[in-house]
Structure 1
Amino acid sequence: MARTELYDEIGTGYSLGRRTDPRWMTAIAAALGEARSVIDVGAGTGSYEPDGRTVLAVEPSGEMIRQRPRHAGPAVRAVAEALPVRDHAADAVLAVLTVHHWTDWRRGLAELRRVAPRQVVLAYDTRRHTEFWFVREYVPEIADLELGRPSAPDIADELAADRIVPLPLPWDFTDGVFPAYWRRPAAYLDPRVRRGCSALAQTDPAAVDRGLRALRDDLDSGRWHERHRDLLGLDEWDAGFRLIVAGA
């Protein structure tokens, strides 16, 4: 399923669960540096578009564009592999948790380099995601999906990154990315939470249902808490998210 079709299908209510976390926003704003104009590629609902700068959003899904706040900057429907702007159109280009959805991720990254001298990409190490307890213990089928996606080290190499900044997940993270509830396992039983996780939407529903039944049983019996006692004492966990910064 193409990204446009995927988010037109699962994107209803997306902005309710996928909200800006100020800790990630601070890191992204710092990575953009002095850039006054920014192209946000795969912008979604605009969760991480910086204030005080001129922003053009590029997003293929009409459903996602519909949920953008009224005060957000202009958005155009297009894909990363064919950005509808001239060379060096902005000071920086931003791509947040989108590269793994692109049909041709290398061509998309070449487009990022074409349209701006600085590229800021938030991606994740796919192997770290396969080690997440939800995948390892409940829905291992997700691992096949993740390992077929471009990983943060691959993206960094392709862009010849100048910096790679780890972005750990605080236990109370407010943006419902797939591993966000690593210390709040009952959240995955909520369909509203699952709706914002593309990894779950792209995995066999029977496998997801089987895993959720097992998770519910382990929560009811206390097995999950016994097995993951070490996580309960952590304030943050490294799920593999990386902020990749390349260019001027």
Structure 2
Amino acid sequence: MNIRQTLDKFILHFPVLFIKQYPYAWIAIIVLWSWPPNFSAIFLSIVLVGIFSLRWREAAWISEMRRQHAPKNETFYIDRVPIPWARAGRNLAILAAIGVATAWFLETRLSLTFWQAFTLVCGFGLFYFDVRFFGAVTIYIVTGGGIAIYFVPSHTDYRIFLRFNEMEQIVRMDRIEKRPESWSVLSRVRAARSGVLLMPRHAKGFTRLLDGEVLLTPTNVDEFLKYVPSTLVLEEN
């Protein structure tokens, strides 16, 4: 095992819950802004390390999947589900409005300037509740043996590998009017209206958590389906 593999395994075993506490350092940065710069710099470094560690986990997971499922340049198609910017824009506007109101209320009570209070509220909300603004980080990887999924809906992450021999069908869903409760949606897009439905071969589902069908929302469905066995694909409009 080389150094890179060792570091990848280290960050993958480091709890997301712990890493995602870095937004609290943002509070310290703003509150201690008038102190000597060294104090703010320490907490700023914590924020930057936290953000970097989350991105590092994504890259480490991709590398680990490549080592396990495509060590000799076999099929390895990566799809990062993009941020739904329309929804993100609306939520960011709401956050800004809340920030203005809260800053006006707090500036005299906490001995902060308006802009300090505004930056504190908006920064903490943006970092701590990132999923509400940008959706859950979602990455799909299609390999020769199955589909790997990296999904971070909150302060924990799910790293799943669903083998093709566990699937009965892969259904292309061009229009979804109503989603059954038995479906598990693994995507940044909460209100998905199209996507790819993975149907389990066994009645108990894929896993204890995924006990029914699984809906994915690839960026390019046509490209995604090129890499899965054609015998499993069912077109459904």
So what's the TM-score if we normalise by structure 1?
Answer: 0.22
Compare CA radii of gyration and give the structure with the larger one. Answer: 2
Structure scoring higher RCO (CA < 8 A, sep ≥ 6) equals 1
